[in-house]
Structure 1
Amino acid sequence: MASVLVPVLYVIIVFGSLFAFSSFYRRRNARKTFEPYFPQHHERDVYFSLLQMTDPPAPETLLKAALVRRAMTDVTRIMRLREDKPALQNLLQKGSIGDDLWNSLLAAEKELEAEILEVAAEANAYVEGWGTVIFQTATEMMHNEKLRTLVEQIPTIRAEAELKYGKFPLPQLVVQAPPAPGSPASAQASLSPSNPARPTTPLSSRTNGASLAPPSAGAESDALSGSERSASPTSPRSPSKSVR
């Protein structure tokens, strides 16, 4: 009987200690506050401050602009979460980071989902159907701001490049206007090798090949053949006949 009670008591003690430890660990994590993954949402605080203004109340255009600015910050955080979550998950599986950072990211993701729904509801309150396109508008405005910032930094980047590599001349593009129709330049351009003009052939020359040769060509060819026959030593001499 004692041999049976000893293993049973051992199993009860082991599982009881594991259950007590797991319950204590869960309670400790529940009371533990994780460090926020993102900083404080300043644009959301500004929007709520404008909503609470009563004397005088904030104009609707200002409220819409503040809401769009709030949506732009949300889009930035969405893009960052999409980039960071796979990398952090891979590092967590390898044991390179702790659970605190991963839990902070999950908490930020849930908070951002609630923020997106709230922004869409606020947008629909101003204009019906605006909640479906407000984040698209915020994305376009964010890209425009990045492009404008880059354009504004071009003089600074150029000055740094000149200090580092020296001044270098910028290539100048020379744009020539096309010649006016009827001018000598346009006529010369029309006869250029890139656009050669095809000579027109008369209709008579197409139908009769003999008319292509000049009138004296036949006589010259006859005279040339006669002189060659007279100069050849093997050609027999024909007696000359006098025509009376």
Structure 2
Amino acid sequence: MIDLYTWITPNGLKTSIALEEFGLLYQAHAIDLTKGEQFSENFRKISAGSKIPAIVDHSNGLTLLESGAILTYLAEKTGRFLPISGAERYAVLEWVFWQVGGLGPTLGHAHYFLTYHPDVAPAASALFASETKRLYEKLEQHLNGKDYLAGDYSIADMSVWPWVSRFERHKINLNNYPSVRRWYLQIAKREAVQRGYRVPVFTGEIPLPPPLTHENSESSEERL
């Protein structure tokens, strides 16, 4: 049994999605960031830095923080969604670290300056709008002609997808990025992704981009 301490953020969602994909038995504990529950004494015993997600694997007593490390650990624990060696393994890890070090922090700032506080700092809003588009362009270029980020479906896709699911918050129209759009919708159809997206609480269905067809019609690829 694994205890998952999490909230409805992209970093939290990628961990719950991964646990569902790996088919591991787990129990989710909601840490409501809007209520400051991450600073509670009990949670700080698990996560000294008051960050989610965190897991406790009761099969070996391991407590682990940081979503990138958690996904790598779960992949190695199960032997799934991460090649065991060679260039294929590092191709997956490259995109995991790209998300952790670049995409996540940039889009987090984009949420803050473009959605929640759009008039606070115009220069910052312009900067993160530009950086967000640059990262989407990189993702679009890489996914052109590819089904997934690094060979087969992997923890790289699990890591990046929840951030892209917030496309509305960083003012991105996925129809402008057709390869990203196709990849996003393909992963959104996975049952494990749909289950993980509802953890620890259901806040709504997976966001969909506007249909590419006429206003009153919906393409089959968008029916989840």
Tell me if both proteins adopt one fold, taking TM over 0.5 as the criterion: no
Question: Which has the bigger relative contact order, CA under 8 A and spacing at least 6?
Answer: 2
Larger radius of gyration between Structure 1 and Structure 2: 1
Q: TM-score range by the shorter chain?
A: under 0.3
TM-score after normalising by structure 2: 0.25
- Which protein has the bigger helix share? 1
- Which protein has the bigger strand share? 2
